[in-house]
């Protein structure tokens, strides 16, 4: 059996008396685009922060390309090839957006890649072109709209040369036009895939309640109950 690209086993996290993530098991293949959804407070962001080392789990295992991540520092996880975009963006607002991306280009992983001979500015511009905002490279980050800030987050993550990119609420708060632009950027990560999401995992109260294709998940009784409640069924 092939080694999974990402494997999470019995992962759990408590905040005081609240169990935010409860014995989560999941596997992800290298070529998948996996969607993680759930009602507000379901534990989605907590799970992503556990995988990236921002939070430490109370129990369980996280393996990436066979390497155990639990106990590793966030920057070491980035250098293994995992990047994470935050729901609450924190750019260097007084700097041009290209300077924001140049910082990511200086990560040890990016410097060790086969593209290290390129100038940092050129590599940063490539990441901005990927995200669709290269025309605003010299504008200050403080001038960007919510949608463009999210695309800047994607550009900064891509600049670290990740194998796995985790996006926290990539479409949250965006207009329909901004959502379409973000979707186009994400699609370019996997040109051979025709859909944004191949498989969906649904969390509710920190527990996986459904795992399957988007078409199957939206019909799952537990998913309907989580979003609509007993009266909505």
- Return the pLDDT at 226: 83
Nearest one of 164, 184, 166 to 174, comparing CA atoms:
184
SS3 214: helix
pLDDT tops 60 at residue 160:
yes
Question: Of residues 232 and 201, which shows the higher confidence score?
Answer: 201
Residue 171 domain flag: no
pLDDT tops 60 at residue 205:
yes
- Return the pLDDT at 188: 66
**Do residue 42 and residue 135 come from a single domain?**
no
**What is the CATH classification number for the domain harbouring 153?**
3.40.50.300
Residue 172 domain flag: no
12-68 tens-digit pLDDT: 999 988 999 999 999 999 888 898 988 888 999 999 999 999 999 999 999 999 999
**Do residue 102 and residue 184 come from a single domain?**
yes
* Residue 177 burial (CB count, 10 A): 9
Residue 61 domain flag: yes
| Domain extent at residue 60 | 1-70+198-233
**Do residue 153 and residue 110 come from a single domain?**
yes
Residue 14 domain flag: yes
SS3 60: strand
Residue partners of 96: CB distance under 8 A and separation at least 6: 137, 138, 139, 140, 141
Domain count of the fold of the chain: 2
Residue 101 domain flag: yes
Q: How confident is the model at residue 183 (pLDDT cuts 50, 70, 90)?
A: confident
80-116 tens-digit pLDDT: 999 988 777 788 889 999 999 998 888 877 776 555 5
**Do residue 63 and residue 94 come from a single domain?**
no
121-143 tens-digit pLDDT: 888 998 898 888 899 999 999 99
Q: How confident is the model at residue 72 (pLDDT cuts 50, 70, 90)?
A: very high
In terms of C-beta distances under 8 Å and separation of at least 24 residues, what long-range contacts does 99-107 make, across chains too? 99/124, 100/141, 100/152, 100/156, 101/127, 101/128, 101/152, 101/155, 101/156, 101/159, 102/159, 103/156, 104/156, 104/157, 104/159, 104/160, 105/159, 107/75, 107/78, 107/79, 107/159, 107/160, 107/161
**Do residue 64 and residue 79 come from a single domain?**
no
- Return the pLDDT at 31: 83
- Return the pLDDT at 119: 79
pTM for the model? 0.80
The DSSP bridge partners found for residue 212 are 200
Residue 173 domain flag: no
**Do residue 77 and residue 183 come from a single domain?**
yes
Which structure tokens are listed for 11?
A: 């992962």
- Return the pLDDT at 71: 94
């Amino acid at each position: 059996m092939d080694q999974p690209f990402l494997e999470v086993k019995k992962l759990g996290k408590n905040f005081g008396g609240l169990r935010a993530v409860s014995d989560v098991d999941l596997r992800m293949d290298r070529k998948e685009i996996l969607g993680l959804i759930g009602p507000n407070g379901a534990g989605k962001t907590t799970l992503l922060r556990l995988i990236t080392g921002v939070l430490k789990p109370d129990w369980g295992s996280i393996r990436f390309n066979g390497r155990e991540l639990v106990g590793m520092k966030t920057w070491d996880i980035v250098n293994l090839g995992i990047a994470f975009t935050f729901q609450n963006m924190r750019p260097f607002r007084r700097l041009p957006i290209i300077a924001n991306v140049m910082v990511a280009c200086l990560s040890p992983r990016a410097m060790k890649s086969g593209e290290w001979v390129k100038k940092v500015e050129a590599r940063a511009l490539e990441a901005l072109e990927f995200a669709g905002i290269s025309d605003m490279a010299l504008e200050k980050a403080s001038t960007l709209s919510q949608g463009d800030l999210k695309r800047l987050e994607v550009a900064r993550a891509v600049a670290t040369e990740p194998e796995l990119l985790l996006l926290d609420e990539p479409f949250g708060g965006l207009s329909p036009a901004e959502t379409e632009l973000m979707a186009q950027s994400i699609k370019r990560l996997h040109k051979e895939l025709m859909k944004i999401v191949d498989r969906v995992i649904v969390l509710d109260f920190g527990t996986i309640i459904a795992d399957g294709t988007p078409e199957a998940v939206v019909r799952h009784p537990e998913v309907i109950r989580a979003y609509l409640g007993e009266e909505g069924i």
